[in-house]
A and B are shown apart, each in its own frame.
Chain A
Amino acid sequence: QSVLTQPPSVSEAPRQRVTISCSGSNSNIGNNAVNWYQQFPGKAPKLLIYYDDLRPSGVSDRFSGSKSGTSASLTISGLQSEDEADYYCASWADSLNGWVFGGGTKLTVL
């Protein structure tokens, strides 16, 4: 059972928009920034969004992040087949003095 809650899977058609949610608590998301990672099978996670809504250099602007209270969201617009991957949210947890992750969401582009 992961500390941060994500839907196990989402699916949407190409060129559409999909949103992945991440729910936490006051000791993690509510008091700290959220990061999002993209992971392809057999590959290392890649930072997609950091500090809630910032994109690292080289990440497409089709990816965007937001946060409100103890929940965060990752939105992918203009879906492409190459977006099929697992997506993880992460946040620092004050009460644990460590990082917590969501269980991951598998995105399928129909």
Chain B
Amino acid sequence: EVQLLESGGGLVQPGGSLRLSCAASGFTFNTYAFGWVRQAPGKGLEWVSGISASGGDTSYADSVKGRFTISRDNSKNTLHLQMNSLRAEDTALYYCAKFYSATLTTVPDHWGQGNLVTVSS
């Protein structure tokens, strides 16, 4: 069974940093692409970032480019999202999503339960 468990969220002041993690189990981690999708309170889904199975291909939404960095540790079956220079508009529930195959252009087919990030002074 695919399991994705996010951690690392919380309350942070504007300008601060957080590192989200997503621990995966139930499948061969290093053969799948992964991504982060966020949902602000009462709003729709928004693409944040993604990384291919090899780590050689990454994607970032314009709204986070230069501030967020996605990475993966295939030895620990874990996905990370380093978030710097956080803004109030980054406040959202952040979902970790596994893709259907190794590339980012396929299908985000399994999602974690989400991890809340609140940026406020």
Q: A residues within 8 Å of B by Cβ?
A: 2, 32-33, 35, 37, 43-47, 50-51, 56, 88, 90, 92, 96-104
Q: How far is the CA of A90 from the CA of B95 in the complex (A)?
A: 15
8 A-B pairs within 8 Å (CB atoms) are namely A44-B111, A46-B111, A47-B108, A50-B107, A96-B61, A97-B59, A98-B60, A101-B37
Contact, CB under 8 Å: B50 / A98 = yes
A90 / chain B contacts, CB cutoff of 8 Å: 45, 108
Contact, CB under 8 Å: B44 / A104 = yes
User: Would you call the interface of chain B mostly helix, strand, loop, or mixed?
Assistant: strand
Interface membership of B32, Cβ < 8 A: no
Q: How far is the CB of A17 from chain B (nearest CB, A)?
A: 24
Q: How far is the CA of A97 from the CA of B114 in the complex (A)?
A: 23
Q: How far is the CA of A14 from the CA of B44 in the complex (A)?
A: 26
B109 / chain A contacts, CB cutoff of 8 Å: 47, 50, 56
Of chain B, the residue at the smallest CB distance from A100 is: B47
Of chain B, the residue at the smallest CB distance from A92 is: B105
Q: How far is the CB of B117 from chain A (nearest CB, A)?
A: 16
A51 / chain B contacts, CB cutoff of 8 Å: 107
Q: How far is the CA of A44 from the CA of B108 in the complex (A)?
A: 12
B50 / chain A contacts, CB cutoff of 8 Å: 98-99
Contact, CB under 8 Å: A99 / B47 = yes
Q: How far is the CB of A109 from chain B (nearest CB, A)?
A: 21
B107 / chain A contacts, CB cutoff of 8 Å: 33, 35, 47, 50-51
The 3 closest A-B pairs by CB, nearest first: A99-B47, A44-B111, A104-B44
